[in-house]
Structure 1
Amino acid sequence: MTPNQIGFALILLTALLLLGKWMRVKIGWVQKLFLPSSILAGFLALALGPQILGRLAEPLNLPWLADGGVFTEEILEVWKVLPGLLISVVFAALFLGSKVMSPRKVARLAGPQLSIGMAYATGQYIIGILLTMLLLAPLFGLHPAAGALIEAAFEGGHGTAAGMKQVFEDFGFEGGSDLALALATVGLVSGIIIGVAVINWAVRKGKAECLDNGLQMSLEEQRGLYKKDENVPAAMMTSRPSSIEPLSLHLAVVGLAILIGWLLLSGLQWLESVLWGEHLQLMEYLPLFPMAMLGGVIVQLYLDKTGNGFLLDQQMMFRIQGLALDLLIISALATLSLTAIAQNWESFLILSVAGVAFSTFVLVWLTPRILPSFWLERGVGDFGQSMGVTATGLILMRIADPEDKSPALEAFGYKSLAMVPFFGGGMITAAAIPLIMQFGELPFLIVMIVLFVASVWWGMGHFKKVKAGDVDDPVEEIMEEAEAQA
C-alpha cells in the first residue's frame, strides 16, 4: 500500500461526507429524521462497496465491480483501520478545554439526572446479558460477549462500537463489532423518531414546560444549516498564527494526550503481566481510547494547575472531535459486514427491539418519577444520548426547549462529565467484555442489577424529598439566579 493510496482513501471520505451533506439539504424525509451527514455518507459508501454493489456485479454482468464495488481493496483496507485510530482522538479531546466546575453544583444539579444516566447504562447491560444467557446463546448459539452489545452500541454509539472491534475479535466474536455498528444505527434512528414522538405527545398532554405552540423548527435547522444572519463562532484563537496555528496547537495537545494514554496502558499491561498475568488478564484487552481520555484529563489538570488552561479552547476541541467522529462513522459503516448481521439476524432483531423498548420505558415512565421539574426537556437529552450519540440528545433538547428556558443543557453537560469516564465508551464499557469472559456473565449481571436498583432508588428518593419540601430543587434556584442576572 502506497502513501498515495492512503491519501486518496482519506480524500474519498471527505467527498462522501460532502455528498451526505447534500442529501441532508435536499431530501425532505432525511431532514425530518435529523440524520447526520456522516451516517448518510456511511450508508452511501456501504451501498457502493463490496457488501451491496459488489454482490450485484454478477447479476448485472459487471465483473469489474466484483471485488470492492467502486472502491479498490487498498481503499477498503485503509478505511478498516481508521475507526480504531480515530476513536482515540474523539476520547482524548473529551475533557480538553473544559472548565473546572464546582463539585457541589454538579452534584446538586446533575445528581438526579446522573441516576437516570446510570439506569440507562446499567439497564442496557442487564437486558443484553439476560437475553444472551436465557435466549440468544442457548437458542441461536450467540457468543457470550453479546451481552455487552446493547450498551456498547446504544450508550456508546458508532464510535465505541467500531473502537471495540479488536476486543470482540480477541475473544473470538468476530462479528461482534458489525452487530454493534448495526445496533448503533438502529439506536440513532429510533432515538430521533421516538424522541420527537414523545415530545409531540407531551405537548398535546400539557406536560411540556417550554413549548406552548407545538414543535416549530426552521428549514435551516432541518437542513442542518445556520441562517445567514446567525453569528455562531466555531472556535476561539488562543495563540497567534505567526507562532503556531491554533488548530495545530490543539491537535498537538490531543496527540500528547493519546501518547500519555498509550504510556499508561503499556505500563498497566506490564504491571499486570508481572503481578497477576498468569491468572487474570484485563489490561491486555483494554483498548487505547479510554486511556487516551484519561491522558486528556491529566493534560487539562496540569494546564489548570499551572495557569495555562486558557491555551485550549473547548469549541476548538469540539471541532476536532467532530471531524474525527465524522470520518470514523463513514469508514466504519463503509466496511460494515452485512454477512455477520445476516448470520445473526434473529439475535440482532431481538436485541434491537429490547434495547429500544427499555430505553423508551426509562424516558416515559422512570424519568418523570425522578426529575421533579422540566422532566421532558432534561429527559429527552439523556434518552437521545443513550440511543446513539451526544448529538442526538442535543438535537432532542433543542426541539423540546428551543429558547433555552430550562437548565436542561447545563444539567446534561454535568451528567455527561460524570458518566463518560465509565459508561458509553469509558472504563466499564472497555472492561465489560474481558470481565464477562473471564468471570462469567452472572457476576457481571449481579453488579449491574445492584447499580441499577441503587440508582433508581436514590433518584426516586430525591424526587420525593423535593416534592415534600424536605430539600430545595436546585433547578428552581438556578432559574432564579439566571432571571436575577438577566
Structure 2
Amino acid sequence: MELSPEVAGFSLLILGILLLIGKWIRVFTPFLQNYFVPSSLIAGAVGLLLGPEILGRLGINFFDKGGVFPQVMVDVWDTLPGMLINVIFASLFLGMTFPKLRDAWEIAGPQITFAHFLSWGQYVVGITLTLLILTPFFGMHPAAGALLEISFVGGHGTAAGLSDTFASIGFEEGLDLAIGLATISLVVGVMLSVALLNWAARKGETEVLKDPDDIDEDRKKVLFSKEEQQEEPAGRQTTRSEFIETLTVHFGYIALAIAIGYALLQGLIWIEEQLWIEQIEVFTHLPLFPLAMVGAVLVQLFLNNFVKYNVVDRGVISRIQGLALDMLIASAIATLSLTVIGDYLIPFILLSVAGIGWSVFSFLVVAPRVMPDYWFERAIGDFGQGMGLSAAGLLMIKLADPDDESPAKEGFSYKQLFLDLIVGGGIVTAASAPLIVAIGPVPMLIITAVITLGWLLLGIFHFGRKKAED
C-alpha cells in the first residue's frame, strides 16, 4: 500500500477510533480512573500493542510487518507529532488577557519560582548523570543530558517536536528515548500525584481538601453530569456562523501564529548564518514550535490592543489544543520504537529513576519551604506539569481545591507566561540539546546549576521568609 491522500485521511480516522477505544477502556476500568490515566495514553498503548513493535514482532501481521495496521499508516502517525506540536504551542496564549507583570508576580511568584527550580534542576541532574555514567560507561551522546527536562517538563509534544533537532546533531535515538521517558513520567506522575493527594489530605498538609474520598465518580471517569454539561460550555461563538464558523476563525488565528513563528525562525537562522555560524549552531537546529508560541503572543497582543471585538475565545482555542494534544500523545506512543529503548535499557531506567527522584525531592523537600501559603495546592500543579502535562497539573489542582479557595489555579495560569516561553518546551528546552553540543556539557552544567541555585535562594529567602513572618 502506497501513501496517498486517501491513506493519510484514513489513518486519521483510525487514530480517532483508537482514541475512542482508549476512552471507553478507561470508563470501564476503575484502576485507570482512580489514577487518572489519560485516555490518549491508553489509545497510544493499544496502537503500540496492535502495531509493528509488538504484534508485528510476534509475526501476527495483517499488512506487511505492521501488525494490524499497514506500515504506511504507521508512517503517517509517525509524522503527526512533529506537526501537531506547533498547533499546541501556538494555542498556549491565544485568547488570553495578559495581566500586569506586578500583579501576576504577586499571585504566581511562588509557583513561578518552584516551577523554574524543578525544570532547571532536571538539566543539572540529567547532565551530571550523563557526564558521570551514561557517556563513560554506555557511550551515550552528550545531549542525553537534556532528555529529562525535554521529556518530563516538556512532555510528549516537546519530545516529538524535537525529532529533526535530534537527527541534526547525530542523536537520532534521542527521539524514542525522549518519548519513552515522557510516557514513564506521565504514568508515574499521575499515580504519584494521586498518592500524594491522599497522603497530604490524611496528614493535614492540605488547607482545602480534608477527605480524598470526596472526589466523585464522574470526575474519576472524566465525565460531566447532565447539569455540568449545561454549565460548562466548550467555548463561545465569536462570529456569525452563516458567514464563517467560529471554529474556522480560531483555526485561522492558530495558523497565523505558526506562520509568524516560521518567519521569526527563518530570520534567526539567517542572522546566525551571517554572524557566527562558523563557531556555534543553535538556531539552525531549533524547531518551529517555541517560535509559534512567540507568534501567538504577538497575535494576541495585537488583538488586545487594536481590535475592539472579542474575536478569539479561550474556550474554543483550548478545545482545538486539546484535540491536537490527544492525537499527538496517541500517535507518539503508537509509533514508539521499543528496539531503541531495549538497546539503551539501563540508561533509560537510570534516567527515569533520576527524573522521578528529583521531582519527588523537589515537591516534598523544597516546595513547603518556598510556598508562603497553600503549599500543597500550589505545588501539586507544578509537580503534575513537571511530570509530563500541564493538563495533569491543572487536574491535580482541581482535585486538591475543587472550589478554587486557594490562589493555586490562578497562579498556575499566570505561571505559564513566565515558564513556557523559556523552559517546559520553550526556547531553552528546544535549544538545550544543540547548546550542549555547541558549548559542551560541562559549561552547560555550570550554567544550569547556577540558575537552579538562584531560583532556590529566591524561593527560600523571599517567599519562604514571608511564610515565616506570617
TM-score bin (small chain): over 0.9
Give the unaligned 5+ runs of structure 1: 474-486
Cα distance in 1 for partners of 2:309, 2:78 equals 36
Are the equivalent residues in 2 in contact too, given 1:97–1:309 (CA < 8 A)?
no
**Counterpart position of 1:482:** none
Match of 1:118 among 100, 116, 119: 116
Q: Is 1:128–2:130 an aligned residue pair?
A: no
- Give the total of aligned pairs: 466
Q: Is 1:96–2:98 an aligned residue pair?
A: no
Cα distance in 2 for partners of 1:339, 1:278 equals 36
**Counterpart position of 1:477:** none
Deviation at 1:422, TM superposition (A): 0.6
**Counterpart position of 2:23:** 21
Cα distance in 2 for partners of 1:64, 1:383 equals 42
Cα distance in 2 for partners of 1:326, 1:213 equals 31
Cα distance in 2 for partners of 1:468, 1:43 equals 47
Deviation at 1:431, TM superposition (A): 0.6
Q: Is 1:177–2:175 an aligned residue pair?
A: yes
Cα distance in 2 for partners of 1:240, 1:99 equals 23
Give the unaligned 5+ runs of structure 2: none
Cα distance in 1 for partners of 2:270, 2:243 equals 39
The one-letter code sitting in structure 2 at the alignment partner of 1:280 is I
Cα distance in 2 for partners of 1:404, 1:113 equals 16
Distance 1:82 1:464, change over 3 A: closer
> CA deviation digits over 1:107-153, x for unaligned, max 9?
11111211101111111000000000001111111111100001000
Are the equivalent residues in 2 in contact too, given 1:300–1:309 (CA < 8 A)?
no
Cα distance in 1 for partners of 2:303, 2:464 equals 41
Cα distance in 2 for partners of 1:164, 1:50 equals 23
Are the equivalent residues in 2 in contact too, given 1:92–1:257 (CA < 8 A)?
yes
1:221-232 aligned at under 5 Å gives the runs 221-230=219-228, 231-232=231-232
Q: Is 1:277–2:277 an aligned residue pair?
A: yes
Match of 2:68 among 65, 70, 76: 70
Are the equivalent residues in 2 in contact too, given 1:155–1:386 (CA < 8 A)?
yes
Relative to structure 2, which stretch is displaced further, 259-268 or 148-157?
259-268
**Counterpart position of 1:296:** 296
Cα distance in 2 for partners of 1:248, 1:305 equals 22
The one-letter code sitting in structure 2 at the alignment partner of 1:44 is V
**Counterpart position of 2:414:** 414
TM-score normalized with structure 1 length: 0.94
1:114-193 aligned at under 5 Å gives the runs 114-193=112-191
Q: Could you tell me the percent identity over the aligned residues?
A: 47
TM-score normalized with structure 2 length: 0.97
**Counterpart position of 1:50:** 52
> CA deviation digits over 1:403-438, x for unaligned, max 9?
221111001111122100011110000110111001
Cα distance in 1 for partners of 2:211, 2:147 equals 39
Cα distance in 2 for partners of 1:65, 1:48 equals 12
Q: Is 1:2–2:29 an aligned residue pair?
A: no
Are the equivalent residues in 1 in contact too, given 2:64–2:70 (CA < 8 A)?
no
Are the equivalent residues in 1 in contact too, given 2:143–2:171 (CA < 8 A)?
yes
Distance 1:309 1:131, change over 3 A: farther
Cα distance in 2 for partners of 1:211, 1:302 equals 41
**Counterpart position of 1:352:** 352
Cα distance in 1 for partners of 2:98, 2:211 equals 38
The one-letter code sitting in structure 2 at the alignment partner of 1:246 is T
Show structure 1 runs of 4+ deviating over 6 A: none
Relative to structure 2, which stretch is displaced further, 213-222 or 460-469?
460-469
**Counterpart position of 2:391:** 391
Deviation at 1:80, TM superposition (A): 1.1
Are the equivalent residues in 2 in contact too, given 1:84–1:162 (CA < 8 A)?
yes
Match of 1:204 among 202, 205, 213: 202
The one-letter code sitting in structure 1 at the alignment partner of 2:44 is G
SS in 2 for 1:18: helix
SS in 1 for 2:424: coil
Cα distance in 2 for partners of 1:199, 1:446 equals 35
Are the equivalent residues in 2 in contact too, given 1:378–1:412 (CA < 8 A)?
yes
Cα distance in 2 for partners of 1:443, 1:88 equals 30
Deviation at 1:165, TM superposition (A): 1.3
Deviation at 1:465, TM superposition (A): 3.2
SS in 2 for 1:35: coil
Q: Is 1:305–2:305 an aligned residue pair?
A: yes
Cα distance in 1 for partners of 2:261, 2:320 equals 18
SS in 2 for 1:311: coil
> CA deviation digits over 1:297-356, x for unaligned, max 9?
111111111034611011111111101111111111111100000000000101101110
Cα distance in 2 for partners of 1:82, 1:403 equals 37
Cα distance in 1 for partners of 2:467, 2:68 equals 61
**Counterpart position of 2:316:** 316
The one-letter code sitting in structure 2 at the alignment partner of 1:373 is D
Cα distance in 2 for partners of 1:309, 1:289 equals 28
Deviation at 1:385, TM superposition (A): 0.4
Cα distance in 1 for partners of 2:333, 2:204 equals 40
> CA deviation digits over 1:86-112, x for unaligned, max 9?
100000111110012121111111112
Distance 1:362 1:188, change over 3 A: same
Cα distance in 1 for partners of 2:463, 2:282 equals 38
**Counterpart position of 1:30:** 32
Are the equivalent residues in 2 in contact too, given 1:50–1:66 (CA < 8 A)?
no
